[in-house]
Copies of this chain bind each other. A is one copy, B any other.
Amino acid sequence: MTISVDGYVAGPVQTREDPIGEGHRLHQWMFHADEPGHEMDVRLREEIVAGRGAFIMGRNMYGPIRGEWGDEDWRGWWGEEPPYHAPVFVLTHYPHDPIEMKGGTTFHFVTEGFDAAFSQAQAVAGDAPIDIAGGASTVQQAFAAGVIDELLLDVSPILLGAGEALFKGVADPGLTPVEVVASPLATHVRYRVGR
């Protein structure tokens, strides 16, 4: 998860053009990962989607539509070939048929809650890891379900001041930092989770 120094994964003012509120500032390390001197960012950007068996994400991460899906043919933020290359289970209260994209990504819409999405993800992932892609609420549900083994925080050097606090309501799961790599645009800290 990309997070500000003050602990937010999205700013307070979210619009359709800027769905995570100052998202561009927060995710600079991803957008600029190809520039010289940011090889750590390149490595992390590739690593966070490589070799995953499945992904779980919240509906607000999938798109800007709220409530009923309506007539719009929304297919995610990521173009015709999303970077996931694996099934993505989207948590929503509103049923929707699966959407198959290029490159192995299929969006499945799960209305029965996090545990159901996790079971479905497990069924397709086999031995490959399942990635909780975000946002904050989905991560919080995953912590509450006790299914997180590893937490990768990409700390962007900005203060958002308000917004969606990643760890709101999360009980300390036991964190051990096992790897830290840094660039001018982010400090990437990998934690093993569990006591």
Partner-B contacts on A (CB < 8 A): 5-7, 153, 155, 157-161, 165-167, 169-173, 175-177, 180, 182, 184, 186-187, 189, 191
**Inter-chain contact B184/A159, CB cutoff 8 Å:** no
List residues of chain B with CB within 8 A of the CB of A160. 172
Copies in the complex: 2
Given the contacts A159-B170, A159-B171, A182 and B180 also touching, CB distance less than 8 Å: yes
Most buried by B among A171, A184, A187: A187
List residues of chain B with CB within 8 A of the CB of A153. 5
A176 CB to closest chain B CB, in angstroms?
6
Chain B: CB-nearest residue to A189: B187
List residues of chain B with CB within 8 A of the CB of A175. 5, 157-159
**Inter-chain contact A180/B177, CB cutoff 8 Å:** no
In the bound assembly, the distance between CA atoms of A158 and B167 in angstroms comes to 11
